[in-house]
Amino acid sequence: MLIATWNVNSIRARMPRVVDFCEKQQPDVLCVQETKVIDEDFPAADLQQLGYDVAFAGQKSYNGVAVASRLPMKEIARGFDDGGEPADASRLLIVQIQPTPENPRTPVPVVNTYVPQGRDVDDDAFRYKLDWLQRLRALFDRNWSSRKRLLWVGDMNVAPQPMDVWEPERRGNHPDYHPDARAAFAHAAEWGFVDCFRELHPDAVEYTFYDYRDRHALENGNGWRVDHIMATRALASLCTECWIDLEPRTLEKPSDHTPLLARFEF
DNA sequence: ATGGTCGACTCTCGA
């Protein structure tokens, strides 16, 4: 099973890139973030033509998450089940990959998140981000066992370790690297997740995000590893490959994030 | 980076 996550920064602007990506990498499951489109305008047909079933939870202009799957899939939930802001529903989409005759084992839930960015560590949005990660941890606690198979993927807007960001000594006040953001992410991950990229590549300095606003970010290596594929141990043990695909960046109209992929032998 | 560039959208906001 090949799963990919990609913050596409508008699914409508990016659809040619998404189609190229699917044709080349052939992911079984593709989770995207920042679709920036309401559900009635979601371009599902382009993905359905490639053989994908599509689930999406969007809103106007901002946020928006979607999952495309070639394996049987059913939508489990959108947003939290704890109340909260309406925008949460376009940041969190849970689906379940269903068993097949070839894969008769238990279903695999997939939690696709677009974690709030936080704007600035002095902004209320940063507190909302920290709370959001705490609510996500509580969601894991309520709904699943860390001994079972579970995937949590998406744009987490957190670089977990110093090696996950360019010049970490200068990023202490960035909402994606502030100690409080890393602690909140770590607390959610400590529920029982393995960071698949870091597990397979303990020393690799590779990034999934280069800021659009820095014209020379890519050539200078000024990037961030803020997109992640997290798996419970039961699944991480079956992860044979995990890599960042920079190829869409070389084509016309890249997004500022690049896809992250992981292959599981099941 | 009190900067820069995108994308959606009504002009300014979010990243």
Residue A257 CB lies within 7 Å of the nucleic strand B: no
Report pTM: 0.97
pLDDT at A111: 98
* Nearest nucleotide relative to A10: CA against C1': B7
Question: How big is the CA angle at A51 (ends A114 and A45), to the nearest 5 degrees?
Answer: 70
Strand B contact nucleotides, protein CB < 7 Å: 1, 3-9, 14-15
> Which CA distances in Å does A137 have to A133, A142, A146, A216, A248?
6, 9, 12, 36, 32
- Residue ranges of domains in chain A: 2-264
pLDDT at A197: 98
Residue A24 CB lies within 7 Å of the nucleic strand B: no
- The predicted-structure confidence for A149-159, as pLDDT tens digits, reads as follows 999 999 999 99
Q: Is the dihedral of CA A223, A228, A233, A239 positive or negative?
A: negative
Residue A253 CB lies within 7 Å of the nucleic strand B: yes
CA of A153 to C1' of B9 (A): 30
pLDDT at A105: 81
Give chain A's residues under pLDDT 50.
none
Residue type, A252: E
Q: Closest residue by Cα to the C1' atom of nucleotide B5?
A: A213
Phi first, then psi, for residue A101 (nearest 5°) are: -55, -35
pLDDT at A248: 87
DSSP letter string over A28-70?
A: SEEEEE---S-GGG--HHHHHTTT-EEEEE--SSS--EEEEES
pLDDT at A60: 96
pLDDT at A18: 97
Superfamily of domain A2-264: Endonuclease/exonuclease/phosphatase (3.60.10.10)
* Nearest nucleotide relative to A9: CA against C1': B7
- Report, as residue numbers or ranges, the catalytic residues of A: 114, 155
pLDDT at A184: 98
pLDDT at A238: 97
pLDDT at A260: 98
pLDDT at A31: 98
- The predicted-structure confidence for A71-94, as pLDDT tens digits, reads as follows 999 999 999 988 888 889 999 999
